Amino acid sequence: MKKNAAVIIPYKPRYPQNLIHAALESRRFCVLVTHRQMGKTVCAVNHLLKSALTNTRPAPRYFYIAPFLKQTKLIAWDYIKRFSAPLPDIKLSEVELCLQLPNGAKIWLLGADNPDALRGTYADGVVLDEYAQIKPDVFDEIVRPMLLSRRGWALFTGTPKGQNQFYELYQYAQKAAAQGNADWWCGLFPADETGVIAPQELEEIRRRTPPRLFRQEYLCDFTADAEDVLISSSLVAQACARRYGGGEIAYAPKIIGVDPARFGADRSVIFRRQGLQAFAPRVLHKTDNMTLAAVTAREIEQFRPDAVFIDAGCGGGVIDRLRSLGFTVTEINFGSAPLKAGQYANKRAEMWGEMQAWLQSGGALPASAELKADLCGVRYSFDAAGRMKLESKEELKARTGRSPDLADALALTFALPVRKRAGGGGEFARTEYEVL
């Protein structure tokens, strides 16, 4: 190959492949969770090809690893040959499943069922496909040492298969990225968001597929087999597909929930809901109490709610400021006693339980990947008295690296029963509302 000659891979990424490639170019360790038929293998193969072609080091080495050698050949070898075919001076070995590129870089396809074949070599980059089916020690004991000398990268891809090492790795990557670790990235792309599968086709698949399997394979739900997740991804997906017109919800009271940020990395969230329709939340980052109070005041004046509920845990300054401006707001202590004391351990569990019941009864959600993640991430259990309790924000954040701020703000709209005032709101934002 002539020096500086242009090399073009015959591949044009579509959504969400274009977003994924941007992340792969800038992060060392990437965890990619996708639905079936999203195109993750094509994405991974072309990332390997580009990385290998642009590597200027001597003798670059790259590896594509799937759980079994036969599976690796079936999944990726044809793609390797197809996308490398127009390149000059390539060498393909069907026996070794190896591609040599014009700059001397090599890409091998291997199976994790014979991991010892990898020992003693180095790697500039490694793709581990269907990672849920690969033993964890393959990466920890074999692949990770291969990356040391070249400071190589690794891409872990797959579709959920329950809460195994792939789930744990996704949670680790999510937490590391949230804490600002620039080496890590994670992406989760369910079928109801990517648009790769036509809506009518996806609906047909949903009808013909067992619910648990559909949640796992197409909604990328790691918790499809879990019994301790309060709100399922399928319930959230159904809610995101619903929309109600103004006439359908005009009978219902308007409610605002405000969850002020607890820590610097958390988000302050203002959520509006009327009856079965929840509207797009207002999310603010690193906002002080006075600014949050001012934004909330504007939301109240525009939405004219019948009730405003604010988390008292970190919202004292916001509550005091709004009251000084003449607004009537109610502070909610998440740890306080619930109205249904025999069913829930505290107010937060009650709000989430009522939110789940609302979703089951036809609640409609705005399309938000962050909201979906918040709603589906919280676990529940029961205390000695048989009352439902949730894992705390602190426990969830320690486990996943994120706080469910959007979901908690929406849950606040279920803090107390509210009756719509006569006249449909208007000036009632500055007067007492009726609580049933």
What are 354-391's pLDDT values in tens digits? 999 999 999 999 988 789 888 988 888 888 888 999 99
**Which range, of 23-32, 87-96, 221-230, 318-327, averages the lowest pLDDT?**
221-230
Q: Helices 347-360 and 233-240, interaxial angle, to 10°? A: 60
Q: Is the Cβ–Cβ distance between 364 and 238 less than 8 Å?
A: no
Question: What stretch of H or E contains 389?
Answer: strand 388-390
Instruction: Please give the Cα distance from 102 to 113 (Å, whole number).
Output: 30
pLDDT at 433 over 70: no
pLDDT of residue 429: 37
Q: Across the strands, what pairs with 66?
A: 111
- Average pLDDT value for residue range 128-149: 90
What residues contact 15, with CB distance under 8 A and at least 6 apart?
194, 195
pTM above 0.75, yes or no: no
Q: Helices 17-26 and 40-53, interaxial angle, to 10°? A: 40
pLDDT band at 229 (very low <50, low <70, confident <90, very high): confident
pLDDT band at 84 (very low <50, low <70, confident <90, very high): very high
Q: Is the Cβ–Cβ distance between 35 and 60 less than 8 Å?
A: no
pLDDT in tens, 208-220: 887 888 888 999 9
Instruction: Please give the Cα distance from 185 to 177 (Å, whole number).
Output: 6
Q: Is the Cβ–Cβ distance between 64 and 44 less than 8 Å?
A: yes
Helix (H, G, I), strand (E, B) or coil at 33: strand
pLDDT in tens, 18-59: 999 999 999 999 999 999 999 999 999 999 999 999 999 999
For residue 406, how many other CB atoms are within 10 A of its CB? Answer: 22
Q: Is the Cβ–Cβ distance between 163 and 229 less than 8 Å?
A: no
- Average pLDDT value for residue range 134-159: 92
The phi-psi region of residue 125 (left if phi > 0; otherwise alpha if psi is between -120 and 50; otherwise beta) is beta
What residues contact 18, with CB distance under 8 A and at least 6 apart?
none
Which residue, 207, 200, 191, 125, is CA-closest to 159?
191
pLDDT at 221 over 80: yes
pLDDT at 427 over 60: no
Q: Is the Cβ–Cβ distance between 426 and 299 less than 8 Å?
A: no
Helix and strand numbers (H, E) in the chain are 18, 18
Beta 330-332 vs 307-311: how paired, if at all? parallel
- Classify residue 113 by its DSSP letter: T
pLDDT band at 428 (very low <50, low <70, confident <90, very high): very low
> Taking all residues of the chain, what is their mean pLDDT, rounded to a whole number?
89
pLDDT in tens, 247-305: 999 999 999 999 998 655 578 999 999 999 999 999 998 888 999 999 999 999 999 99
